[in-house]
Amino acid sequence: MKKRNILVVTLLAVSPYLMYTSCSDDKPQEDVVVDKVEEVVPENNESFYQIPAPDEMFSFIKNSGLTYNKSLINSPQKSTTYSTPMEQTLIFGVYSADLAYTASYEEFNESIKYFATVQKLAETIGISGAFNEELINNIKNNLDKPEQLLANSNDSYFSVIEYLEENEQGNKLGIIASAGWIETVYIVANSIDYTKNSDALQRLADQKLTLDNLMLYLEKYGEDENVKELMVWMKELEQTFSALSEENATSSGISLKKKEGGKMVLGGGSSVVMTKDQFTTVKSKINEIRAKIVK
């Protein structure tokens, strides 16, 4: 199984091809509307979900020179301490991101622990059907192959997304995705040296748009009590990110804008800017929300 992402903004912020087409001198720069929620491509039956996946962010920060830090991930030994359905659903998202983090850095022994933890939690929160026999066998047969760790992590993540979509559990999907995204930006924010890691810092700043799109997804399930509780935290973070401005002629050449109707737009010539004080504030808020999730 191979599915590609996701909250379309993440792709646009990551893909060198898309950055090239938006910045090319051969063509006039135009805004690109990225308001897709789901699109099925008939020729290869891939789906595009409005849900961010952690693997591309971790692959990017690894390539940017940020080192692996085991102390940032939530210990799988704590998994049994989460007792309510909301806590268990949130922590499933956290552990899914931690799995992707360990897999991206080819931390073989850690990834095995997180695969087991995620699979067990899937049973607890009623989504064990997402881990079919083919997926489980593929994971088991490749546990001794570090190069397969990230592919296995991606397969399990997208299997969960597909399962929840097919079973119309968008509220649970929104909670899992939000917790996974929080864990991802928490790891990134706490790995960055503001004076040295400019590329990773820019990627963190660009999460302003990712968060906007994630909030749009959550709002569809705003009547759900658990989603409503989560959105209080997410709105606090959204307000913190809202202080970030845009600046022309940066290296990324991407501007992040919102049009009427909630549509997110990328245009050439500018990008989100994060000052040192803003970085400190965003990092502090991310750490605060993450602490509430993992307790």
Give the pLDDT confidence score for residue 20 in this predicted structure: 31
**How far apart, in Å, are the Cα atoms of 195 and each of 123, 198, 199, 201, 279?**
44, 7, 11, 9, 11
Copy the structure tokens of residue 9: 């903004």
Give the pLDDT confidence score for residue 234 in this predicted structure: 97
> How far, in Å, CA of 261 to CA of 241, rounded?
20
Give the pLDDT confidence score for residue 51 in this predicted structure: 60
Copy the structure tokens of residue 102: 């360990």
In three-state secondary structure terms, 29 is coil
Give the pLDDT confidence score for residue 230 in this predicted structure: 97
Specify whether the CB–CB gap between 208 and 255 falls below 8 A.
no
Give the pLDDT confidence score for residue 271 in this predicted structure: 76
Q: What is the DSSP letter of 130?
A: G
| Residue ranges for the chain with pLDDT beneath 70 | 1-52, 143-144, 146-147, 247-270
* Segment holding 265, helix H or strand E: strand 264-268
> How far, in Å, CA of 233 to CA of 211, rounded?
12
Give the pLDDT confidence score for residue 153 in this predicted structure: 81
> How far, in Å, CA of 142 to CA of 140, rounded?
5
* Predicted TM-score (pTM) of this structure: 0.78
Give the pLDDT confidence score for residue 270 in this predicted structure: 56
Give the pLDDT confidence score for residue 131 in this predicted structure: 84
H-assigned helices in the chain: 8-14, 16-23, 55-63, 85-104, 108-124, 133-141, 149-166, 170-189, 198-205, 207-219, 225-241, 276-294
Q: Beta strands 245-248 and 254-258: pairing type? A: unpaired
